[in-house]
């Protein structure tokens, strides 16, 4: 077994042990799919939770927070799309 394969195998054994023993790494200490949130002073989801934001607001925060480090202009357009929906919902709800 090559060193790289051995390293992957050992890593999988450790993960299996953690799962079996109930040892879980806190969500803020891991990043799935890149480092675009790990570099932030405040994790977007912590901000969203602390401020009681809903799904639509939370996605606006998420996409605006990461656009420079991940999706570029496409993430800004996604944030705009969620903001558009939020405005539509607010207008219906508030009668404006």
Question: pLDDT tens-digit profile of 28-81?
Answer: 777 776 777 777 788 899 999 999 999 999 999 999 999 999 999 999 999 999
Q: What does the pLDDT read at residue 96? A: 65
Q: What does the pLDDT read at residue 13? A: 78
Residues 6+ apart with CB under 8 A from 34: 69, 70
Q: What does the pLDDT read at residue 87? A: 96
Q: What does the pLDDT read at residue 62? A: 95
CB of 67 closer than 8 Å to CB of 88: no
Report the alpha-carbon distance of residue 94 to residue 81 in Å, rounded. 20
3-state SS assignment for residue 24: coil
């Amino acid at each position: 077994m090559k060193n790289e394969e051995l390293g992957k195998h050992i890593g999988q054994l450790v993960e299996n042990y953690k799962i079996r023993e109930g040892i879980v790494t806190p969500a803020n200490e891991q990043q799935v799919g890149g480092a675009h949130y790990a570099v932030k002073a405040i994790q977007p989801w912590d901000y969203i939770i602390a401020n009681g934001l809903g799904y639509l607001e939370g996605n606006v925060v998420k996409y605006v927070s990461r656009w420079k480090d991940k999706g570029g202009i496409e993430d800004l357009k996604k944030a705009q799309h969620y903001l558009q929906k939020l405005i539509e919902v607010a207008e219906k709800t508030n009668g404006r």
